[in-house]
Chain A
Amino acid sequence: MHPKKPMLSVSRHGLRVLFANILAIYRRELQSYFTAPFYYVIAGVFWLLSGLFFLVVMTTIISQVAQQDLLQQQFGAPSQAIDVPKLILESFLGLLGSISQVILPMLSMGLYTEERKHGTLELLATSPITNWCVATGKLLAVLTFYTTLLLPVIIYQFVALQQSTPPLSPWLILAGNGGLILLAAAILSLGMFLSSLTDSTILAAILGFAVLLVLWVLDVLAKNTGGNLSDILSYLSPLEHFTHLTRGIFRSSSLVVFGSYIFLGIFLTAQSIDAFRYQRN
């Protein structure tokens, strides 16, 4: 109604609208997870596998360490200090990362393909809401879902690993799981972009796995090449940064790299939705 307003009030009002829009998309998206059986299946599989792996990792490592201890006692070799809970956490988070990499493309595959299939993208594109808001709201929603999956797993990590003497630092658990969430955010963001390219959910999932493969190859190359190239590749590899975080090594560059991947995904999504309208139907 009033197109010309003082800059400040416009931007303040604009900011409020921006948040309200992101929130609207976020809530709708989250709501849709609760009504779809697919997401319950994903949650079930995730919890089953992660619980199983936790049990296996813990018993394997503890029995291995106990065996080693026994050997050392028998032969009188100098005993080596091993931080058992830290080792368990590190191995478990590595496995959790692998399970997540299977599940994440399945979470991101429907983000835009469903909108395109049902024509609701046309509603969003003709509403006073920017592509950025839509993409951000969607990413936050799917990330919330993933974090919800992770929550009970984090709790039993705390419960189990705090039992050791001395107890494992809670920061290690938080850093490792925080790294997992950041990694998930980066992968989901790229997956969201891929889902905006097509209206085939299956294709979006396949593309998602292909991107994971690329990230994995990047990681392998980073570990197996030498010199500057290795440094550059390991800096770019989100998996590498995740591994650091599971070991409790926190670098601000990790935040920058994860943030860049997340931003890249949202940016490309917004661009591709804009470009989509230039196509015929």
Chain B
Amino acid sequence: MIQVEHLTKVYGTTVALRDVSFSAASGEILGLLGPNGAGKTTTMRILAGYLPATSGTAAIAGYEVHTDPMAVRQRIGYLPENPPLYTEMTVAGYLHFVARIKGVSAGDRPQRVEYALKSCGLWDQQQTIIRKLSKGYRQRVGIAQAIVHDPPAIILDEPTVGLDPRQIIEVRNLIKNLAGQHTVILSTHILAEVSMTCDRAVIINKGEVAGIGQLDELLQRLSSSYTYDLELVGDRSQIESLLQHLPHLQQMTWDSSTVQQRQQLRVSSPVEIGADLASLLVQNGVQLFEMRRSRANLEEVFLKLTTDEPVAEPSDAPEEAHA
């Protein structure tokens, strides 16, 4: 449905996007994830046909955005970073206008506007002047505007930014409901958003794709270490020398705080060593009260992907061990 190949965008001397490629299947929700300034908005604007790319192609429903702009515009709904609202209009009046310029026939318009109003929870506000709406409602009008003409592809740039937690949940549910009939591509810098709404994610950093895939898959591939938190009682130096026998041990840190005389130890390793670790400790008389395995969570993966160090390929992940 959405096919992006080798997109590059250069503004003067700054490279905003470098060789970005990804695709979204019909009915899928794809998240574009990256820190602010990573190139998400630029990618979205190119997809929407608002900005031309310096090189590369982007196609929506088989129509290339540069060579067939009108065909693309007919097939997309686009919510820019700031919702494009005529604040002096009423909500319904505005949606009617958008439906008109998007080419919805006069006969279908009332129905489509009604659908957009209802699915965005704006039914009671339809006669309200947009200027008088709160930010959350304005954002909803922005989303309604993107779906009013029933486009096959919907592009949402930071759809939940500036909303309160309840509104965020509502907007996320709305987006989830759009999937299936529509292909949705949304950008965000919030990781939880992708994990809650998207089928797949493209992680963009400094204009380059840092990873594509299902989130848990990405997580698995990119999280290079397992961490175990232990609560135990025993002689520190004895434990330390014991653990040296473990072949894959990467790091061992003692937490200075002790709870009821019990020591806190954190051990990390590139492979699963839980069973060995436990038996080693218990067999040698260490009193083990708690052992908890934690995988690098989403935030850590995200930070890792988007910090300065080169992104580790799955094959050379253990290199991190020397850090």
Dominant SS among interface residues on chain B? loop
- Segment among B47-55, B281-289, B293-301, B309-317 that sits at the interface with chain A: B47-55
Residue from the list A17, A120, A128 in contact with B86, Cβ < 8 A: A120
A280 at the A/B interface (Cβ < 8 Å)?
yes
Cα distance A10–B165 in the bound complex, in angstroms: 48
User: A218-249, CB under 8 A of B: which get 1 and which 0?
Assistant: 00000000000000000000000000000000
**Residue B201 at the chain A interface, CB threshold 8 Å:** no
Q: Which residue of A lies closest to B131 (CB)?
A: A35
Chain B proximity of A20: nearest CB distance (Å): 7
Q: Are B100 and A20 in contact (CB under 8 A)?
A: yes
How many Å lie between the Cα of A278 and that of B52 in the bound state?
7
**16 A-B residue pairs with CB within 8 Å:** A3-B71, A24-B101, A27-B97, A28-B97, A35-B88, A36-B88, A118-B87, A119-B80, A119-B81, A119-B83, A122-B78, A124-B101, A126-B49, A127-B101, A127-B102, A128-B102
* Distance A128 CA – B1 CA, assembled complex (angstroms): 19
Structural contact, A119 and B52, CB atoms closer than 8 A: no
Q: Indicate if the CB atoms of B73 and A28 lie closer than 8 Å.
A: no
Contact string against B for A residues 155-193, beta-carbon threshold 8 Å, 1 for contact and 0 otherwise: 000000000000000000000000000000000000000
With the chains together, A35 CA to B130 CA distance in Å? 13
CB-contacts of B32-48 with A (<8 A): 48
Q: Is the CB of A31 within 8 A of B89?
A: yes
Is B243 interfacial (CB 8 A cutoff)?
no
Which 9 pairs between the two chains have the least Cβ-Cβ distance?
A: A123-B84, A24-B100, A128-B73, A120-B84, A119-B82, A35-B88, A126-B48, A128-B74, A122-B80
Q: Which residues of B contact A17 (CB under 8 A)?
A: 103
Chain B residues with CB under 8 Å of A45's CB are: none
Nearest A-chain residue to B75, judged by Cβ: A128
Contacts of A27 in B (CB 8 A): 97
Question: Please, how many angstroms separate the alpha-carbon atoms of A121 and B101 in the complex?
Answer: 13
Q: How far is the CA of A120 from the CA of B89 in the complex (A)?
A: 13
Chain A contact residues: helix, strand, loop or mixed: helix
**A35 / chain B contacts, CB cutoff of 8 Å:** 88
A contacts, CB < 8 Å to B: 3, 17, 20-21, 24-25, 27-28, 31-32, 35-36, 118-130, 277-278, 280
B86–A28 contact, CB under 8 A? yes
B11 in contact with A21 (CB, 8 Å): no
Size of B's binding interface in residues, CB under 8 A: 31
Confirm or deny: B303 has a beta carbon within 8 angstroms of a beta carbon on chain A: no
Name B157's closest neighbour in chain A (CB-CB).
A122
Q: Which residue of A lies closest to B94 (CB)?
A: A28
- Assess the B101–A25 pair: CB atoms within 8 A: yes
Q: Apart from A32-B86, A128-B103, what are 10 other A-B pairs with CB-CB below 8 Å?
A: A31-B93, A32-B89, A118-B85, A119-B82, A119-B84, A122-B80, A122-B84, A127-B98, A130-B70, A280-B11
| B12 interfacial by beta-carbon distance below 8 Å | yes
From residue A119, how far is it (CB to closest CB) to chain B in Å?
A: 4
Query: Chain B 55-93, CB within 8 Å of chain A: the 1/0 string?
Result: 000000000000000110110101011111111110001
With CB as the reference atom, state the residue of chain B lying closest to A133. B101
**Minimal Cβ-Cβ distance residue in B for A130:** B70
Say how far B242's CB is from chain A's closest CB, in angstroms: 59
Contact between B103 and A118 (Cβ–Cβ < 8 Å)? no
Tell me the complex Cα distance, A25–B48, Å: 21
Write the chain B residue with the least CB distance to A32.
Answer: B88
Residue of B nearest to A279 (CB): B11
In the complex, are the beta carbons of A126 and B11 less than 8 A apart?
no
In whole angstroms, what is the CA distance A32 to B12 when docked?
A: 37
Chain B residues, Cβ within 8 Å of A36? 88
Residue among A25, A31, A120, A128 making CB contact with B70, cutoff 8 Å: A128
Chain A residues closer than 8 Å to B89, beta-carbon distance? 28, 31-32
Q: A118-B84, A118-B86 are in contact. Are A123 and B100 (CB under 8 A)?
A: no
Contacts of A3 in B (CB 8 A): 71
Q: How far is the CA of A35 from the CA of B71 in the complex (A)?
A: 34
Instruction: Give min CB distance, A59 to chain B, whole Å.
Output: 42
Residues of A with C-beta under 8 A to B76:
126
Please give me the residue from chain B that is nearest to A35 by CB atom.
Answer: B88
B87 touches A129 (CB 8 A): no
Chain A residues closer than 8 Å to B86, beta-carbon distance: 28, 32, 118, 120
